Amino acid sequence: MIVLALQIIAAALAGLWVPVQNSPLMWVLPVGLLAWWFAGAPALLVTMVLCAAMSGGTLYRAEWRAVTQLTGNVLVSGCVADFPRANEYRTAFAFDTRHERAGSLLFPERVYVTIYDAVYPVRAGGCYDLLLRVKPAHGQGNRGQFDREIWLFRSGITATAYVRDSPLNRERHDLRPGARFSVRAALRARLIADHGGEATGLLRGLVLGDRSGISPAQWETLRMTGTTHLIAISGLHIGMVAAAVAVCVWWFAVFVRLSPAASAATAGSAAAFLYALLAGWSVPTSRAATMFVICAALWLSGRDTQPLRVLALVAISGVVVDPVVVLQPGFWMSYLAVALLLTGRALKLGNTSQITHKVLNYSISLLSAQWRLSIGLLVPGLLLFGVWAPVAPLINLVAIPLFSFVLLPLVMAASLLALLRLPGGDALVTGAGWLLHQSVGMLDAAIERSGSGLRMAPGPLALTLLLAGSVVSLVSRWLVLRVAGVLLLLAVLASPALWNWRPDRPELQVDVLDVGQGSAVLVQTRTRALLIDAGPAWRGGDSGAMTVVPAMQALGLSALDLLVISHSDNDHAGGADSVRQRLHAPNVMAPVHDGVSPHWRCRRAMRWAWDDVEFRILHPRTVVGWSRNDASCVLSVRTASAHVLLPGDIETDAEAVTLARGDELRADLVIVPHHGSRTSSSEAWVATVTPNYAVYTTGFRNRWGFPDSAVARRWAEAGSCGLNTALTGQLTFTARHAGRLTLDSVYKADFKRPAAVRYRDLPGCAGR
């Protein structure tokens, strides 16, 4: 059973990762029959999962391409399919449409909709006509950043949209949402209301799996302490509810002289299944509910209930029903956690008949379980999430028992009383909310006292050592080897130099980040790092915090030697404050003081050298008489055999001046000025620069139409390979050992991404 589970999981991964040009549906049946004929039912099941995964990815890609043909505004009918996530600037939610056609195209079944500035109010479970401006599903692609495109794919969302202000927007009382979500929405409105105070969002997360009300500050606290798994409905929730129902029904069945075993198993299974549905049927809840049902069925039938076999059967059922589930980090962490607990060896001290010994044995078991989870999930967590909370193991030793045996029963009891409108229900909810809020406050205090934040994923050497230490600590039967494994883990975790060490650092590395309509370029020598521009800001956030800092940390950087702001336009300078606050950036250079407070005024003829890499400012000599764009700081980065040109948003006037000065402009890589606007990239300037790579930093399907088609054609005719970060994601260029600058990686074209969201239209010139 375990081998079959691993085969089915491998088949799902293979189906999602292998690109297929045509739908494999036509050969699913013959291949499945051949597999069944030669290898039996297991081979048929594996083949069907493989074909289902391939078909799902192919159909998603086809629907995504169909959405690209939608233009203008579309009036769409549908229902809000989840709890809207709202702040003071916007509201976002999944919207299940009612299969209406937009022209000759079938409109996507599910769209992720955003409402800005409260254009039209919506509620969970409500049905509406909405005038939408639709785009294909898209997300920025950078190392260290949440991959929104994969999340949209595994959620079955092929289009995103925002609501236009229109009298056509109206509520539809003749439509009905899905039964399961309508019940969840009704319970959410009635169950907790707002009696939980500041912890209302946390309470709703614990009871209904609704995370929409958890504030960003609360999420940050949970992430920093590694306790996000506690504020979500997990297998423990399902198990406690099912066990409580089973015990009550057992005694009731004994009282009325029914079969207690059958009654308890049936009632407990039904409770687990229904509660998992009401909680959103996430990976942990579905796994726990399915496991409870299977265990109950095997127990009643008198069959083997060996835990790992049951877990394998649960995994098989989950992947067969939905092969895309293997893309969810929760799938791997959930099943690995349960497997670690099931394979742990029980430790006992002395005679367990005495209360003291029972308490000691329980404490040792708890510590042993936490030790196994902390070590066993360390490397998978780093690979899946890219971050590690150093204080997590110690905090979880206290937090897990507190949440599991104090807060969770209290919250469940309070919720039940509030749901039944029994006396004291609201007061108990208020008390539970207060206690939960105080618990999160203690997590905040733990962060401050420890002075420890998140650490990004380590380099390959540290990751290999961590994996070796984890395996030896968990698997070895010899105490001395287990101790050695733990010591190795502690040595790696306590050594930032080893953690961040990466082999073969290039002479020059240039990372062009995908910040949408804006610019952010990281330049690294062997020992120094410079960032030119930090992307845009918007109400409620900016690219500095969301994109630039995570990308830098993923590259092993925690500080900058210099931050250069080419000019003060929002799309270049908007994220600068966040970068300066979150990273150590002692020096800032900018051409003007408008919106930026530089340490140095950027001006022509400034030059410096880091690790045999020369940096020169080519423009402006003075900002007087220039427009804001033409006063952009133009930076030249040169090695013995490679040249990178970063011109900001200069336009044709400034380009003409740089030509007249006789500067050496011939480059291997240029960030196309002003994102490919027709006001820049004059024919003379393009003919002089003639780079191997011309990179456009634009927003996906931006309203200005950048890059302009004539400009793109001009660069192409000059022999440049045109790349657009809106399509490629983060681009990494390197020059090694006095060699030429080459394109090292394209984030969205990387094989690490599933075929359905992998960028496959990369021009052939990108390989040169």
Q: Is 176 exposed, middle or buried (0-12, 13-18, 19+ CB in 10 A)?
A: exposed
pLDDT of residue 59: 87
Cβ atoms of residues 25 and 45 within 8 Å: no
pLDDT of residue 191: 63
Closest CA to 654 of 702, 713, 591, 717: 591
Q: Please determine whether the domains at 68-177 and 508-767 fall in the same fold group of CATH.
A: no
Q: What does the alpha-carbon distance between residue 258 and residue 268 come to, in Å, rounded to a whole number? A: 16
pLDDT of residue 42: 81
pLDDT of residue 181: 75
- DSSP letter at 546? I
pLDDT of residue 104: 47
Question: Any residues with CB less than 8 A from the CB of 307 and at least 6 apart, and which?
Answer: 342
pLDDT of residue 419: 73
pLDDT of residue 675: 96
Helix (H) or strand (E) holding 500: helix 496-500
Q: Is pLDDT above 90 for 533? A: yes
pLDDT of residue 99: 66
- Reported as a single tens digit per residue, the pLDDT across 396-409 is 878 877 887 788 88
Q: What is the mean pLDDT of residues 606-628?
A: 92
Q: Is 585 exposed, middle or buried (0-12, 13-18, 19+ CB in 10 A)?
A: buried
Cβ atoms of residues 376 and 470 within 8 Å: yes
DSSP secondary structure string for all residues of 363-404: HHHHHHHHHHHHHHTHHHHHHHHSEE-TTHHHHHHHHHHHII
Closest CA to 210 of 285, 149, 143, 265: 285
Out of 233-242, 548-557, 681-690, least confident range: 233-242
Q: How far from 202 is each of 58, 94, 196, 512, 681, CA to CA, in Å? A: 38, 21, 9, 38, 52
* Domain 68-177 belongs in CATH node 2.40.50: yes
> CATH class for domain 508-767?
alpha beta
Cβ atoms of residues 333 and 381 within 8 Å: yes
Query: What is the percent of the chain where pLDDT is above 70?
Result: 91
DSSP secondary structure string for all residues of 603-633: -TT-EEEETTEEEEEEE-S--TT--TTTTPP
pLDDT of residue 122: 92
Q: How far from 436 is each of 391, 428, 539, 686, CA to CA, in Å? A: 20, 12, 30, 61
Task: List the domain boundaries for the chain.
Answer: 68-177, 186-456, 460-500, 508-767
Q: Is pLDDT above 60 for 360? A: yes
pLDDT of residue 596: 67
Amino acid present at 634: V
pLDDT of residue 467: 93
Helix (H) or strand (E) holding 136: strand 127-136
- Reported as a single tens digit per residue, the pLDDT across 23-76 is 555 566 666 666 666 667 788 888 889 888 988 888 899 889 989 988 889 999
Q: What is the pTM of this model?
A: 0.90
Query: What is the percent of the chain where pLDDT is above 90?
Result: 44
pLDDT of residue 345: 64
